Amino acid sequence: MFFGHLSAVNLKQYPAAIQFALNYLKNTDFDQLDVGRYPLKGDRIYVQVLDLTTQPKAEILPEVHRHYLDVQYLHRGNEIIGFAPDLGNNPIAIPYSAERDILRYQSAENESDLIMQAGSFAVFFPEDIHRPACIHGEQSEIRKVVVKIAMSEIEG
């Protein structure tokens, strides 16, 4: 997992595909984009623009992906993202869906909180459990942007 803020990011520290995503995030006006999915490099790298209402942590299932990593960027609002390493010890709530590349756990052992503010980003790899859009302080509306990068773009 990586964590940072777009205003203080050193792109040279990241693999090329993540640099590509961070440049896209820095140079796009997300107030002008509608909610939806946009291809950046076909299905290998794409972006999802989401308007969400934060929820109590207990109401959100932790998730992992197997073939994509997430670059989660908070454009507006604040949230907590729970995160933990996926050591295979967590009870499964919803089995893996290959179509959606997602598995949801009932809980996440040794979960920590990441406090996100506007401009923050976090990169979650397949071995990183994450629980996004949790309330920080009080329930709020957020605009979140998730760049999905196929692991083949990192590994190959």
What is the percentage of the chain residues whose pLDDT exceeds 70?
99
**Which amino acid is it at 20?**
F
pLDDT, average across residues 129-146: 97
pLDDT over 80 (residue 121): yes
pLDDT, average across residues 61-74: 98
Would you place residue 155 in the very low, low, confident or very high pLDDT band (cuts 50, 70, 90)? confident
Token pair recorded at residue 92: 């499964």
- The residue with tokens 């997300």 is 30
**Which amino acid is it at 78?**
N
Token pair recorded at residue 16: 């090329």
**Which amino acid is it at 149?**
I
**pLDDT tens figures, 71-97:** 999 999 999 999 999 999 999 999 999
Distance between CA 40 and CA 21 in Å, rounded?
Answer: 9
- Strands (DSSP E) contained in 27-127 are 36-41, 45-53, 63-64, 68-76, 78-85, 92-97, 102-105, 112-117, 120-124
What is the percentage of the chain residues whose pLDDT exceeds 90?
98
pLDDT over 90 (residue 53): yes
Full domain range(s) for residue 138 = 2-153
Instruction: Tell me if 91 sits within 8 A of 106, measured CB to CB.
Output: yes
91: burial class by Cβ within 10 Å (0-12, 13-18, 19+)?
A: exposed
Instruction: Tell me if 145 sits within 8 A of 76, measured CB to CB.
Output: no
Taking all residues of the chain, what is their mean pLDDT, rounded to a whole number?
A: 97
Per the structure, the count of domains in the chain is 1
Residue 156 confidence (pLDDT): 61
pLDDT over 70 (residue 116): yes
pLDDT over 90 (residue 112): yes
Instruction: Tell me if 122 sits within 8 A of 69, measured CB to CB.
Output: no
Give the CATH number for residue 29: 2.60.120.370
Residue 22 confidence (pLDDT): 98
Distance between CA 124 and CA 148 in Å, rounded?
Answer: 10
